[in-house]
Structure 1
Amino acid sequence: MSALLEVEHLQVELPTPNGPLRAVRGIDLEIARGEMLCLVGESGCGKSMTSLALMGLLPRRAKRTAQRLRLDGRDLSALNDRDMAKLRGNRIAMIFQEPMTSLNPSHTIGRQLVEALRQHRSVTRAQARDRAVYLLERTGMTNAAQRLGQYPHQLSGGLRQRVMIAMALMCEPDLIVADEPTTALDVTIQAQILRMLRELQQEFGTAVLFVTHDLGVVARIADRVAVMYAGQLVETAPVGTLFAQPAHPYTRGLLGCIPVRGRQRPGTHLTAIPGVVPSLLGELSGCAFANRCAHASDACARTPPYPELEAGHRVRCVLAAGQPAATVEVP
């Protein structure tokens, strides 16, 4: 598969009274057409900032730099606000974490869906309305035509998220960035949304960058996984490889925190990663995970390499090349 999105050494800095906060520190990733890439990590590791940087929606004072930032060969870093607005919602769309604050409470669902299509396509209002109804039905919403006249507050959280997914698909984008779209939903509705999103992604052939902190979600929907820590990618691998042979100590720690039936006895404590994420203010030297890693040594004071252990599996660790990977059960 050819690369649709190419990102090389993406960085995001935010000014603070104590100096620049380096929220994203040299991200390299590619997403192929029709691929589901899950970006996973703890809260505060830079996942959402990476998403907003790709969409050109960073805070006004944030600074984004990249050696390469291309969507289907087009240089996103060279676009002005007007040109980026033409791509946003058209070639690249976003599903936000909380639909209640993403949808306009003063406009009906139908008006917001129709506007998303007519902004970028030469279609009549009736044609846009027909597509809105079709996509709402494809997301599993009943009485879709009647729902167009409702306002966001009249819908449940699950229905609002279905509206957001339909809105993202209105123009058949090449890439959808989904920033933890199921976090605010209960488990049953979350499972329905994930299954539906995966089916729609495969039907329309859309590439998806799915941001989450839930490895259970990753195991169900991902093609590839990128693990993020302290603003950097520390491991990237196909989903089966990551769960069967995690090579970075942080990845192993995350997987070890997941309860697995038959492995943990009832009432026992779950594994936890000791320590805290280092401050992202200023420069970080060496391995950012060293202060929490049981395998840390003097070598970790140097910038860790990012070797490819096998096709598609890269690990940012000085021990990666020589350290055998532990097998972890898929949750």
Structure 2
Amino acid sequence: MDNQEPILRVEGLTIDIPMAKGTLHAVRGIDFSLRRGETLCIVGESGSGKSLTSLAVMGLLGKTLKRSAKTLSFAGIDLMAQSERDMRHLRGDRMAMIFQEPMTSLNPAYTIGDQLIEALTLHRPVSQGEARARAVDLLGKVGITAAESRLSQYPHQLSGGLRQRVMIAMALMCEPELIIADEPTTALDVTIQAQILRLLKDLQREMNMALILVTHDLGVVARIADHVAVMYAGEVVEWGPARAVFDAPNHPYTRGLLSCIPVPGKTRPGDHLGSIPGIVPSLVGKVEGCAFRGRCAEAQEACAGPIPIHDQDGHHHSCVHAQAQTQGREIPA
């Protein structure tokens, strides 16, 4: 595939969840794409559909959830047409996922070495010795000292930061072309968070991987994103290059998120941070107009009708307002 062609294309992705009171429209017709070597950050409040979107791409949704899409393709492969067996061949090999809590992702009954070696031997015709050497090499690459001795340890014998590094090493065992990291630093302290993010970015650059980072932390986004997709109530309400989104946030929700972040050197101790009043609306049944209008200070009657999508040199937003009503904001350090 040409390096300029997206390795991942998502058009019109929807996820519906049948419930007793009706259908919950958890993800509603979202579009995005990603090229090799690029980082896309998907941001938004809890419940906005970020994690479900990543699970849909990986084919890991529960059987009761209904996924549909106009286009959902990876490296020219139609993911909607793949059987579960075909998806198992892709997952862990060409596509990999790093979950939020490694302790629930690593098997407590098996050693770190067993799990790393299995990740490679399931997909590649290599010997146990070769897989073991690869595991030691990657553990060292992700910053784990005494890598050889770590192979005989169990997950509970490692700290949270070390377990997350093991998860990253496991995801890299087959040198995937796409990695999806779902809140990979939420359970870690701030110092370890910075190390893990720097590690992911360095490894991505070295291996020319596409990276999707799911997060609610815009400070994290500012440090590593090439593109940003802002999700609210199951929709992407703003999308574009990270610098454009931070410099000129066009959607009121994006501006609300940015106002909640302290700016080093400008926000003084004791200053009040911004907030977004209200809660995310119910997505059960038919959803019309802008889902954010009930929490938006700029709402007007037109917000209850069809919402146009504006495009300014690849910077998209869905709002009745054609452009930002306020000035942009510095990217947080």
TM range (shorter): over 0.9
Partner of 2:40: 37
2:256 is the alignment partner of 1:253 = yes
2:316 pairs with one of 314, 317, 330: 314
Deviation at 1:303, TM superposition (A): 2.1
C-alpha RMSD over aligned residues: 1.0
The answer to whether 1:20 aligns with 2:23 is: yes
| 1:47 maps to amino acid | K
| Contact kept in structure 1, 2:249 and 2:324, CA below 8 Å | no
The verdict on how the C-alpha distance between 1:161 and 1:299 changes in structure 2, with shifts beyond 3 A counting, is same
SS in 1 for 2:254: helix
What SS does structure 1 have at the residue aligned with 2:283? coil
**d(CA) in 2 for partners of 1:277, 1:266:** 29
How far apart are 1:267 and its partner, in Å?
Answer: 1.5
One-letter amino acid matched to 2:40: L
User: Out of 219, 222, 231, which is 2:222 matched to?
Assistant: 219
Q: For residue 67 of structure 2, give the secondary structure of its aligned residue in structure 1.
A: strand
Q: Could you tell me which of 239, 242, 245 is aligned with 1:239? A: 242
Shift of 1:192: 0.5
In the TM superposition, what are the counterparts of 1:1-331 in structure 2 within 5 Å?
1-310=4-313, 312-319=314-321, 321-324=322-325, 326-331=327-332
Residue-by-residue CA offset, 1:232-270 (whole Å, 9 max, x unaligned): 000011111111111110000000111113433432321
- State the distance in 1 between where 2:306 and 2:101 align: 37
One-letter amino acid matched to 1:64: R
CA contact (8 A) 2:302 2:320 kept: yes
- Unpaired runs of 5+ residues, structure 1, are none
Residues of 2 paired with 1:166 and 1:282: CA distance? 42
Q: What is the distance in 2 between the residues matched to 1:272 and 1:33?
A: 36
Asked if structure 2 preserves the Cα contact closer than 8 Å seen for 1:22 and 1:280, the reply is: yes
**2-structure distance, mates of 1:207, 1:325:** 33
For 1:80 and 1:236, the matched residues in 2 are separated by: 31
Paired residue type of 1:120: H
Normalised by the size of structure 1, how large is the TM-score?
0.97
Aligned residue type for 2:134: R
Q: Distance in 2 between matches of 1:270 and 1:5?
A: 37
Structure 1 pair 127–249 and aligned structure 2 pair: CA distance change class (3 A): same
Contact 2:41 2:227 in 1 (8 A): yes
Count residues with an aligned counterpart.
329
Q: Is contact 1:247–1:326 with CA below 8 Å preserved after alignment?
A: no
Distance 1:325 1:225 in 2: 19
CA displacement, residues 23-56 of structure 1 (integer Å, 9 cap, x when unaligned): 1111101011111100000011000000111111
Change in CA separation of 1:255 and 1:323 when aligned onto 2, cut-off 3 Å: closer
SS at match of 2:331: coil
Alpha carbons 2:42, 2:229 under 8 Å: kept: yes
Q: Does structure 2 conserve the Cα–Cα contact (< 8 Å) formed by 1:5 and 1:32?
A: yes
SS where residue 22 of structure 2 aligns? coil
Q: What is the rounded CA distance, in whole Å, between the counterparts of 1:81 and 1:94 in structure 2?
A: 16
Structure 2: where are the runs of 5+ without partners? none
Offset at 1:283?
1.5
User: Aligned to 2:291, what secondary structure does the other structure show?
Assistant: coil
CA contact (8 A) 1:230 1:277 kept: yes
Q: 2 CA distance for matches of 1:57 and 1:325? A: 40
Runs of 4+ in 1 over 4 A off after TM superposition: 322-325
The one-letter code matched in structure 1 to 2:320 is V
**Using the alignment, how far apart are the partners of 2:249 and 2:327 within structure 1?**
7
